[in-house]
């Protein structure tokens, strides 16, 4: 029997997943508290004159600054989302699809702006408004009727594919399974996965993996994003999943009810296969996971950080360079909030000259060694999973059945 409350059915709550502490690049939650006010002269400099820098000297200084920052990033990995624009690239064109958010965790996401870029089948995916109630109802339906456990039955199959008929051997068992209601339909599914700390490499987002979930086996190219719950249901996209870390893997695939354990494999290279055991050659178990409630409203936002260098500091007014390289880009992103690595926040005051220099006012004094940045976001969309039939080692992505999953869409 099943309880009325459904408490005996295991389920995974997104709130159980750990969420990272807010950083300055995430928005207002990560900003440092304002400094107390103190008496003093005007914070504005006496002279507002801007001397245009020499282009060749400015280019050399930019190259030296970025080389120094690159070494620091490799050592500390402080800015994994940082984007360095070429001086000849227009930021307003390169980042046309990106938008600013006051807070990554609380600011509402305008989904209407993404209609032009969403996948063609996105509007046909199954939407489940109340996942918990639907899961309990589906589980109860499966317990009605059927064959009692321990009963011997004869099964007659019709329409068996020729491939299965040719590969059948009486010495090997044949496994039969059935699906719950709606499990033949496609939606945006989520899995909380943990990359093994013994795996030597990081896994890149959208990299090909093989997922084994119950009786189903799929080739997936998942999006990785941060776990946890947010009021606006927006989660930051992760470019890499490093060994020992956890993330939510999202892709378009069949509905999965409840918390189903998952195994994730990766095909190994020829050199790795030769050095591996014969039983595991060509395939490596890299991660384990658990299915999460599917959701088409969960927004995976890719973040880009543009950073600048404080060129001149006068109390709370700072002249910034190397973030933009023309006056038009400064005017285009003028409404974006500024932040520093140490938690100070500010805004663009005015542009200076034609080389992308600008003045900004902050809520406190900043350190000359501090980096100043703005955060921009765009929505990224999950990719289709492909059903994998046959041996896991023998089938390649080209040999998989169809480009998309053969299932009913809604």
Tokens of 123: 């509007």
Q: What pLDDT, on a 0 to 100 scale, did the predictor assign at position 74?
A: 44
Q: Tens-digit pLDDT profile for the chain (410 aa)? A: 455 545 445 555 554 555 677 777 777 776 767 666 554 555 555 555 555 666 777 777 777 766 665 544 343 345 678 888 888 999 999 999 999 999 999 999 998 888 999 999 999 999 998 999 999 999 888 888 778 888 998 888 888 888 877 878 888 888 888 888 898 999 999 999 999 998 888 889 999 999 999 889 999 999 999 998 899 999 999 998 888 999 999 999 999 999 999 999 998 865 554 444 444 557 899 999 999 999 999 999 999 999 999 999 988 999 999 899 999 999 999 999 999 988 899 999 999 988 899 999 998 888 888 889 999 999 999 999 999 876 665 555 444 444 444 444 43
Fold of 54-108+303-378: Thrombin, subunit H (2.40.10)
Alpha helices in 170-209 (DSSP H): none
Sorted by sequence, the CB contacts under 8 Å of residue 199 that are 6+ apart come out as: 243, 284, 286, 287
- What three-state secondary structure class fits 93? helix
Q: What pLDDT, on a 0 to 100 scale, did the predictor assign at position 177?
A: 83
How far is 275 from 284, CA to CA, in rounded Å?
A: 12
Instruction: For residue 112, count CB atoms less than 10 angstroms from its CB and return exposed for 0-12, middle for 13-18, buried for 19 or more.
Output: exposed
Strands 261-267 and 209-213: antiparallel
How far is 72 from 77, CA to CA, in rounded Å?
A: 7
Closest CA to 328 of 305, 359, 351, 348: 351
How far is 350 from 334, CA to CA, in rounded Å?
A: 8
Q: What pLDDT, on a 0 to 100 scale, did the predictor assign at position 149?
A: 82
Three-state SS annotation for 129-165: CCHHHHHHHHHHHHCCCCCCCCCCCCCCCCCCCHHHH
Three-state SS annotation for 341-356: CCCCEEEEEEEECCCC
Alpha helices in 152-269 (DSSP H): 162-167
Question: Count of CB atoms within 10 A of residue 26's CB?
Answer: 19
Distance of CA 380 to the CA centre of its chain: 8
Question: Count of CB atoms within 10 A of residue 200's CB?
Answer: 8
For the chain, domain boundaries: 54-108+303-378
Q: What pLDDT, on a 0 to 100 scale, did the predictor assign at position 408?
A: 43
């Amino acid at each position: 029997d099943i309880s009325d409350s459904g408490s005996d059915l295991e389920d995974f709550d997104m709130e159980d997943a750990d969420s990272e502490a807010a950083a300055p690049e995430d928005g207002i939650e990560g900003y440092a508290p304002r400094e107390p006010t103190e008496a003093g002269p005007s914070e504005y400099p006496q002279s507002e004159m801007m001397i245009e820098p020499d282009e060749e000297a400015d280019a050399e200084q930019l190259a030296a600054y970025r080389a120094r920052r690159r070494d620091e990033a490799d050592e500390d990995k402080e800015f994994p989302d940082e984007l360095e624009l070429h001086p000849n690239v227009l930021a307003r064109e390169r980042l046309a699809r990106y938008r600013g958010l006051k807070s990554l965790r609380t600011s509402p996401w305008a989904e209407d702006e993404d209609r032009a870029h969403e996948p063609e089948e996105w509007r046909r995916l199954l939407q489940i408004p109340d996942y918990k109630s639907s899961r309990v109802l589906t589980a109860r339906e499966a317990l009605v009727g059927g064959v009692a456990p321990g009963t011997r039955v004869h099964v007659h199959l019709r329409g068996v594919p020729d491939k299965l008929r040719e590969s059948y051997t009486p010495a090997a068992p044949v496994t039969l399974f059935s699906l719950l209601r709606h499990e033949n339909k496609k939606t945006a599914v989520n899995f909380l996965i943990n990359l093994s700390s013994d795996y030597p490499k990081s896994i890149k987002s959208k990299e090909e993996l093989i997922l084994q979930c119950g009786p189903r086996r799929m080739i997936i190219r998942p999006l990785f994003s941060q776990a946890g719950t947010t009021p606006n249901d927006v989660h930051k996209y992760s470019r890499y999943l490093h060994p020992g870390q956890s993330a939510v893997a999202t892709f378009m695939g069949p509905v999965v009810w409840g918390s189903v354990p998952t195994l994730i494999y990766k095909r190994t290279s020829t050199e790795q296969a030769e050095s591996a055991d014969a039983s595991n050659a060509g395939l490596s178990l890299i991660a384990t996971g658990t299915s999460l409630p599917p959701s088409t409203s969960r927004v995976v936002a890719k973040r880009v950080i543009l950073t600048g260098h404080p060129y001149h500091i006068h109390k709370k007014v700072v002249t910034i360079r190397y973030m933009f390289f023309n006056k038009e880009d400064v005017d285009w992103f003028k409404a974006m909030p500024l932040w520093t690595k140490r938690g100070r926040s500010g805004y663009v005051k005015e542009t200076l000259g034609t080389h992308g220099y600008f003045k900004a006012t902050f809520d406190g004094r900043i350190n000359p060694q501090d980096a100043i940045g703005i955060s921009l976001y765009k929505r990224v969309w999950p990719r289709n999973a492909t059903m994998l039939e046959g041996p896991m080692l023998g089938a390649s992505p080209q040999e998989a059945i169809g480009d998309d999953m053969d299932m009913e869409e809604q």
